[in-house]
Amino acid sequence: MNDLRDWSYSASSRVMAGLAQELSIIPNQHYRPAGYNASRVLSLRLAGINPHYLPKVKMLQKQLTMWAGLSDEYKIRVGHDAHAVLIEIPKPKRHWTQVTIEQLQQRHFLRRGAMATLGLGLQDEPKRLVFTDPGIAHVFITGQTRSGKTNAERLIGWNLAHNTSPDEARLIIFDVVKKGSNWNDFGNVAHLAHPLITGLAEANRVLAWACQEIERRAVERYKSPRLFLLVDELKALLDDSAVATGYLSRIASIGGEFGMHLVLSTQYPQISALGSSDLKRNVTTRLCGRVDDAQAAANALGVPDSGAETLGGYGDFLLKDIESLTRLTVAHLTPEHVLALPRAEVQPLDLPDDDTTNGGSRPVTQPDPLEPEHVALALFEPAGIGKLAKTLGIGKTKATRVKQFADSIRQWAIDHGHSTCHLVNNDFIQLNE
């Protein structure tokens, strides 16, 4: 504890001294300093500071990191609220603390009703999503691999099952990419409205049912139980099903009015990750873990200069809602917590037939066509599926189809005596010589 106290005092003092030297802003003269020891960062709050200093402080992020005595693997994030500039100084990993479900329970931070307590903010306060608030109808979660986005989505599902009865809230869980492997422990939770959805055709039928359910609720004037559609790896689902985009856009547009909510997660924070403009416009609550760069951060959160690219490891997130952009550490959910939820036999929904979904205009099992430029890249610059997906900005399911098609073209050419090649350092190298 003394080590942490000494480090915190030293880091904050150096940062304030650097600001005084570089910008001539003096503690207790130009601002009131306060420090908060969060689970991952030391939050230095400069209260009452003139807002015109904010961009100047942001331009000094590299110097701030140096002044704080941090190595290159750590990055300071500069944020703000209505009354202060926030300088978030990452703590060395030896000083990290994990936020647990037990901590939230012991401190009575879990609340009854359609809400999810995600974890703790910079002043050790609980951070929640309250789905009865019209401004938080739907949620989009993104971040790099191992940023903790699936844990965050599972935590939302756990909260809803823990905090409500099945008569108040029901869950529908989609995991088409990993065939339910991340959600097996939810398989017979009493709040499930339908068995885990692991296939593309079934996913489209359930989404079609959800759109029909909105119509029924509108006509019959009911909103209960609330329905939460948790979609893991959204981008892959949208890549392989154009009809899914239409269904999700419809739900995002008016579902919240009738007690239907989307909780969507994806690894790829490109603009296309949310499919249609309706989906982007109506999913305004964003939860973002660390991303590759500032552009990816802007795409993920819908605002520039968020600093999501400076976040730390697993569980370190920014939450953007209609009012603010705040940092938090998401609590870690274990399978044991899920297995303690009430259990029941899960009955399937009465789904529409395949030929009635989307007005029968297109079979729901037909994937989107492959773009020629994607196939060309796979032909001339062979790469693994993960790299191909990242380069093209598509899901791994579609990247697999692109690679398989390119491989089949290459093999056909070889079988028929044609030379095939790929690019290496901008030179064509023949493969069958």
CATH code: domain of residue 150: 3.40.50.300
**Are residue 307 and residue 229 in the same domain, yes or no?**
yes
What pairing do the DSSP bridges indicate for beta strands 77-80 and 126-130? unpaired
- In 3D, which of 271, 324, 272, 268 has the Cα closest to residue 291? 268
Q: Which of 368, 380, 361, 388 is nearest to 430 (CA)?
A: 380
Q: How far apart are CA 106 and CA 411, in angstroms?
A: 62
Per-residue pLDDT of the chain (433 residues; tens, 9 = 90+): 678 899 999 999 999 999 999 999 999 999 999 999 999 999 999 999 988 899 999 999 889 999 999 887 788 999 888 889 999 999 988 889 999 999 999 999 999 999 999 999 999 999 999 999 988 999 999 999 899 999 999 999 999 999 999 999 999 999 998 999 999 999 999 999 999 999 999 999 999 999 999 999 999 999 999 999 999 989 888 887 778 988 999 999 999 999 999 999 988 665 555 656 677 788 889 999 999 888 888 888 988 888 899 898 899 999 998 878 999 999 999 999 999 999 999 999 999 876 455 543 333 334 556 788 788 888 777 777 777 777 877 766 677 778 878 877 877 777 677 655 544 444 434 444 4
Give me the helix-helix angle, 396-415 and 385-392, nearest 10°.
Answer: 110
Same domain? 198 vs 224: yes
Half-sphere exposure of residue 70, counting CA atoms within 13 Å on the CB side? 24
The encoded tokens of residue 101 equal 């479900």
For residue 1, give Cα distances in angstroms to 71, 104, 250: 22, 22, 52
Which contacts of 332-337 are long-range, i.e. CB under 8 A and separated by 24 or more positions? 332/98, 332/99, 332/100, 332/101, 332/151, 333/101, 333/151, 333/154, 333/155, 333/158, 334/101, 335/185, 337/101, 337/158
CATH number of the domain where residue 35 is located: 3.30.980.40
Total domain count, the chain: 3
Q: Which of 360, 384, 404 is the last residue before a domain boundary?
A: 360
Q: Are residues 49 and 178 in the same domain?
A: no
